[in-house]
Chain A
Amino acid sequence: MTKTTKPMVRIHDLKSNEVIDREMNDFEFAQYQANQAQAEAEIAEAEARAQAKAAAQAKLAALGLTVDDLTALGL
């Protein structure tokens, strides 16, 4: 039995009304990996931004300031 090494894809062809489940071909898999890497990078970037924001807010709070205070200063 062949071991599945690549993710499965489903194709529903409306012309024949046939549904095919198969492994990704090499081209699709390369694209899939690139998309996954891109998505993970975007998630990591968003998380890093959120952490930086939280850290900045914590520093403000330690100084007795809020975001509204900075806004009032035009910052």
Chain B
Amino acid sequence: MTRSRDNATNVAGDISGVTAGTGLSGGGTDGTVTLNLSTPVASTNGGTGLSSFTTGDMIYSSSGNTLAKLGIGTTSQVLTVASGVPSWATPAGGGGITLINSGGTSLSGATTTISSIPTSYKNLYLIMLDVVNSLDDRECHLTFNSDNNNNYNTTGYTTVNATSSFFNTNSTNKIRWGQGTASTTADNKSMAIINIYDYASTGQRIITSDQRSRAGTDNVSLKGTGTYFGSSAITSITFSMGAGVYNSGTAFLYGVS
């Protein structure tokens, strides 16, 4: 059958008009017919349902077929999950070491105490530098929280030149951290590393010490492991001597996260 454009009668198969459906605008019954999106295509139809974005936005499902935008976080934030949906968050700090007593604490007198130690770290780490005592070869002690009760144990050994002597003290009122020297010669002064683990807890805590000095004509060292079973978090450390006083030296106290 031949048809002409002025034929006013539609027959089967002819398109008589285009109607804009949901989310569309435009349409018509003759001539050029245009359809436009009037609303974003829904996620159930393969779209996002979103009409605008900002640089850095990410799309995620906030609930079933509902998509949402997550705006970009700030520098160094990382993508994490909170309440079942993604979000940006500042990462928790990793392990680190912080000098707590800025500049160190100079040792002086019969006792030197570092007090008001914050309990926000995991462990304490002490570096004892260039310690000089008034007497040679005398025990250097530690106590915590001004606790002079028998809440300390120490086991270890001292070495004088090539001869070692073991010591083992249970339930005493101090911890041995070193064997002092009165020498002011630079390379004779006492040096030590002391670790206090889990100091902010109230259970039994472990303390280790490695120390070396030269007392008189002897090379002296101490290696000890102690425990403290006082009932409070450690907030102060007192350095004392079996005899004599601290003439000089510096204690650097670090908090380990």
Contact = CB atoms under 8 A, between A and B. Distances in A.
Interface string A8-41: 1111111111010100100010011001100110
Interface in B61-101: 100-101
Nearest to B148: A31
Instruction: Give the residue among A14, A19, A28, A31 with the most B Cβ atoms within 10 A.
Output: A14
Interface in A30-54: 31-32, 35-36, 39-40, 42-43
Interface in B100-138: 100-102, 105-118, 138
B245 A7 contact: yes
Interface residues on A, range: 20 to 34
Nearest to B107: A10
Contacts of B245: 7-8
B89 to A, nearest CB: 31
Interface of A is mostly: mixed
Contacts of B107: 10
B212 interface: no
Contacts, number: 72
Interface of B is mostly: loop
Interface residues on B, range: 20 to 34
Nearest to A22: B109
A32 B110 contact: yes
B109 A39 contact: no
A21 B246 CA distance: 13
A9 B111 contact: yes
B115 A8 contact: no
Contact of A11 (B100, B110, B113): B113
Given A39-B243, A42-B242, A43-B242, A14 B116 contact: yes
B117 A14 contact: yes
Given A13-B115, A14-B117, A15-B116, A7 B110 contact: yes
B139 interface: yes
Contact of A35 (B100, B114, B118, B173): B173
Interface of B: 100-102, 105-118, 138-139, 141, 148, 173-174, 240-243, 245
